[in-house]
Amino acid sequence: MTPDLVGERTEALRRELRRIGLLLDRLPDPPEPLTAGQLAAASGPVLTRTPGPPDGAASPGSLVAAAEAVRTGEVSAVELVEDALDRAREASDLNAFLLVRAEAVEEARERDAEGDGPLCGVPLTVKDIVDVRGLPTTSGSKFPRMAATSAPAWEALEAAGAVLLGKTNLVEFAFGVHGGNPTFGRTKNPCDPDRIPGGSSSGSAAAVAVGAGYGSLGTDTGGSIRIPAALTGIFGLKPTYGAVSRAGVTALSWSLDHVGPMARTAADLDRLWRALEPRSPGPAKFAPNWDGKPLPNHGLAPLLGVRIGVPRNHFFSGLAPEARAATDRVLDALASIGAEPVPFEIPEVELAGPARSAIAFAEAARFHARRLEQRPDDISPEVRLLLEVGARLTASDYLTALKVRRVVTEAFRRAFVGFDALITPSVPAGATPAGEPLLPTGEPLRTGFMRFVAPFNLTGFPALALPSGRDRAGMPLGAQLVGPPGGEDAILDLAQYAEAMGATDPVRRESGSPTVANGSARPG
């Protein structure tokens, strides 16, 4: 890596931080740094709603339908797993997997014999940055390790009855948005193999999209669940910071990293969240899986009284018209059943980008310091550049970024005094051809795809990507629903309402056997 390039990137970021730092120092009450511990301490559940009606019918081919079919004996766990393995083999050219487990069939047989739980017999995948006991964790790099124990996040899904189908490909050290990997090869987008799937949870998104498993466990530091979910036409949830344990997950930036689920339907995402969520389930938030029947006191407007903030600045500029239309589609659907869209502005969000970059680069450089020092040639030039920039940032730069984090986070907290949720686009444009450095909007790939999603890694607020449209090339686009800390239930309900109203547009695949819930065990 040339020193000049590292120096240029470092100095550009430091100039931005110095400019913002001067602005903050002039405030009457300059902010103190907001640490990861303080962010996690503020992440308790905040919303309580009246319980809604019973769950509606599960979508054919969905995780929820598959789990119910195993429970009733209509389909065996072995059949589900074998079907998912077939899917994985059929889609092997997408390079979504780093490891496929033939042992999954035997585990499914055990589930059929004695298993129980809300995910009983359901095949899932995990991003290969998450430890699973007895399996290697590569983190998409040349630094693999053998896991002696499983990450608590996977243990929770396994305890709910899930079967591990395999581990999925990712961007090296989860440090990128394109889906390429110099060691294991790039993951291809199932909707067009010549285009990127997004990253860094690229293999997880591709596997879910083609039905190789009913869901996946991903990680998100600057959009790494939501970007690939949006670009492949599935759903992805970044929970509140600290809500799901990061233990047993290779760190990138410990104060920005989040662990969360990816799935093909909103109801499936909700089911996975319930298995991951460490808190006791509370009352329903709005009304889960509304089936279109009138509700007491609300008629056909079950979201009456729900206010959805629409931030006009930052999130709705510099995006393709189809991306705006995809977000409007979801908002219009929610408004048609009672939700009130409320435009507002949040100027502080414009400060989020440099602060998030400084935190991510500095923390990643510290975590990977020994690898960078001892084996720099085993790290790709792209990732090494970012780590070397992080290594050159000063303590003052880092503390300035933490001060900015407090300003941005408190601005969003104030906004949620008047709103139940926010809505934004999830990405400004659809998936680009592999190797293309710019979005159709003219933005660089990395900063462009992160612009709408990364602010909520900085604040730690829960955010959900849902598919809701296509670009001119037919590639998926989507909206993003954001909740206050602890507000996962609320945005999951809103996503299910949007799905029930026909506002979502998930990728569909030709169905096959075995049959589940009047549809197919194969998703789609």
DSSP state of 444: B
Label each residue of 472-494 as H, E or C: CCCCEEEEEEECCCCCHHHHHHH
DSSP state of 318: S
Spatial contact of 143 and 136, defined as CB atoms under 8 Å apart: no
Please say if 224 is a catalytic residue.
yes
Spatial contact of 181 and 432, defined as CB atoms under 8 Å apart: no
Closest CA relative to residue 66, chosen from 124, 24, 132: 124
Catalytic residue among 141, 202, 216, 224: 224
Radius of gyration of the chain (CA): 22
Per DSSP, the residues of 118-183 read TTTT-EEEEETTB--TTSEE-TTTT--EE-SS--HHHHHHHHTT-EEEEEE--SGGG--SS---TT
Catalytic residue among 59, 141, 150, 200: 200
Tokens 């790939």, residue? Answer: 445
Catalytic residue among 62, 127, 167, 188: 127
Please say if 127 is a catalytic residue.
yes
- Residue 336 makes CB contacts below 8 A (sequence gap 6+) with 501
Can you read off the two tokens belonging to residue 196? 């990127």
Distance CA 98, CA 96 (A): 7
Spatial contact of 403 and 33, defined as CB atoms under 8 Å apart: yes
Please say if 200 is a catalytic residue.
yes
Torsion angle (degrees, nearest 10) of CA 127, 257, 265, 44? 140
Can you read off the two tokens belonging to residue 109? 């047989």
Return the active site residues: 127, 200, 224
